[in-house]
Each structure stands twice: as structure tokens, then as C-alpha cells.
Amino acid sequence: MANVIGLAVRRPGVDGDTGGGREDRVGPLHAVEGTAGRAAAARSAEVQALCGAWVRVVAVEDVPDDTGLCEACQYGS
Ligand SMILES: [Zn+2]
């Protein structure tokens, strides 16, 4: 099954100072194995990307065109 795309979730107070309390999705994009990614998306859960980062699956149409894929996901395995 084709991979899906995920974005890392930045947690205020955990991943640094973002200046706001909202949950920000931050680039780069990560590739997630298709079956696991779709299951996580159905539960609105986070899933581990190919490179090991925890991400939230997003629809391709929600991804900005200039957002790059993380190098580990792009070139790994
Ligand atoms: Zn990655």
C-alpha cells in the first residue's frame, strides 16, 4: 500500500518556545507506511513515520506546496 504523508506535531513546552498555546503542525513532512498511517488517521492518532518521528497524518491537499519531505524519510530504507 502506498505511503501517506504526516506532519510532526509541535507540543508547546516540549519542543521549544513557539510563543503560543496552540498545537502547531511543523515541517518537514514525513512518510508513513500506508496501512499504519491510514489506521492512525482514522483514530486521529499520531503514528511513527519511516524515520521514527511521531507525526499526524494529513491529507495531501492540506500540505503546502513548498513543504519538503524529511531527508531520512526521503532517502532511508
Ligand atoms: Zn521523516
Instruction: Give the three cell numbers for residue 62.
Output: 492540506
- Cα(17) to centroid of ligand 1, in Å? 22
**What are the CA-CA distances from residue 62 to residues 16, 19, 22 (Å)?**
24, 23, 18
For 9-53, what is each residue's pLDDT tens digit?
A: 776 655 555 555 555 556 689 999 999 999 999 999 999 999 999
- Cα(6) to centroid of ligand 1, in Å? 9
The full set of domain ranges for the chain reads 4-60
Answer for the pair 29, 47: CB distance below 8 angstroms, yes or no.
no
- pLDDT at position 76, please? 63
- Cα(32) to centroid of ligand 1, in Å? 8
- Cα(26) to centroid of ligand 1, in Å? 12
- pLDDT at position 9, please? 79
